Amino acid sequence: MRAIVLEKFGGLDSLVYQDIPEPEPKAGHVVIEIKAFGLNHAELHMRRGEWAEAAPVSGIECVGIVKSCPGGEFPVGAKVAALMGGLGRTINGSYAQYTRAPVSNVALIEADLPWAELAAIPETYATAWTCLFRNLEIRKGQLLVIRGATSSFGQAALKMAVNAGVRVIATTRSRERFAHLEKLGAERCEIERPDLSKHIAEAKQIDAVLDLVGNSVVLDSLAMLRRGGRSCLAGWLGGLDPIPDFNPLLQMASGVYLTFFGSFVFGTSGFPLSDVPLGQIAADAAAGKLDVKPARVFRFDEIREAHRVMESNEARGKMVVVHD
């Protein structure tokens, strides 16, 4: 089969096309004929060698058709999504014609949508849904700040929060992107800045923060919450550096909660994929209640261009690759 192999850590030329053997059927696993796959920041970090683990074939998610499933958990020919479970990290991932994912990390996704739209759902929407409705336990009428809202993750969270009746303040570094975020339902926007808590009018009245800017603003996110409010740290758009000289006694806001979510836990015992209503999300998209259309669609032979666009923040939403 054709696969995009990470030949070395580094720039765009690290991604090379090779013919490698197709994955064989294996107990506890599903071999999937990949129809399309979403692109993720994780794959940039893996390509650059910034993460502890990177498999030769990158790609942490895909959608496609079941080719084999020896345990019978999924019927051959079913339309499925696969995400995480070591894909692209410890086992070969989705940058290929076929992949083999653990059963625990596969879900039926049968909605009548084009592959490009289905491919935009698994990782982004599963993670955004979990952060909003599990970690933050956000509810109708509450006030949520999404930091890094123009990211594909941020936009997915914004759309689902708005559909759930949540009031959202969205941040971006560019004022030109306010209109887009407001069109998606944000009540208003703020320019993202490291000391936002000192400038936002609703400081100390905010119920929840979905923090995708990350370590560099963790403490600032906590500082804008009301007593009992929660911040969910789930993205690192501001960089991967740890919080320098962290001293909770001097730096932390009182009476607030910090929670973290990393999608690598999907499929483990505490975080079964069945917890996430992926099928319902896809059904809502097919019914026109949720717009999951990707911002950019690339062909399989355009992976370097796709990574370039992701690296330069030009995508303005989810990017997917579709097989011909």
Ligand X SMILES: NC(=O)c1ccc[n+]([C@@H]2O[C@H](COP(=O)([O-])OP(=O)(O)OC[C@H]3O[C@@H](n4cnc5c(N)ncnc54)[C@H](OP(=O)(O)O)[C@@H]3O)[C@@H](O)[C@H]2O)c1
Tokens of 140: 């109708």
92 near ligand X (CB under 6 A): no
Compute the distance between CA of residue 145 and CA of residue 142 in angstroms, rounded to an integer.
10
Which listed residue (15, 57, 237, 320) binds ligand X by CB under 6 A? Answer: 237
Cα 303 to the chain's mean position, in Å? Answer: 18
How many CA atoms, within 13 angstroms, populate the side-chain half-sphere of residue 123? 31
Question: Closest distance between ligand X and the C-beta of residue 50, in Å?
Answer: 11
268 near ligand X (CB under 6 A): no
Site track 29-58 with ligand X (rule: CB under 6 A), x = hit: -----------xxx----------------
Which is nearer to ligand X, 43 or 284 (by Cβ)?
A: 43
DSSP run (H or E) holding 8: none
Which is nearer to ligand X, 68 or 86 (by Cβ)?
A: 86
Tokens of 96: 């290929």
3-state DSSP helix/strand/coil % of the chain, to nearest 5 = 30, 25, 45
Question: Closest distance between ligand X and the C-beta of residue 159, in Å?
Answer: 13
Which is nearer to ligand X, 168 or 234 (by Cβ)?
A: 234
Compute the distance between CA of residue 59 and CA of residue 83 in angstroms, rounded to an integer.
9
Which listed residue (51, 133, 236, 257) binds ligand X by CB under 6 A? Answer: 236
Angle (CA) 40 46 47, round 5°: 95
Site track 295-314 with ligand X (rule: CB under 6 A), x = hit: ---------------x--x-
Other C-beta atoms closer than 10 Å to the C-beta of 320 total: 26
Question: Closest distance between ligand X and the C-beta of residue 311, in Å?
Answer: 9
Question: Closest distance between ligand X and the C-beta of residue 247, in Å?
Answer: 24
Compute the distance between CA of residue 98 and CA of residue 66 in angstroms, rounded to an integer.
10
126 near ligand X (CB under 6 A): no
Tokens of 142: 């509450």
148 near ligand X (CB under 6 A): yes
Residues that bind ligand X (CB under 6 A): 40-42, 123, 127, 148, 150-153, 172-174, 177, 192, 212-213, 234-238, 261-263, 310, 313, 315
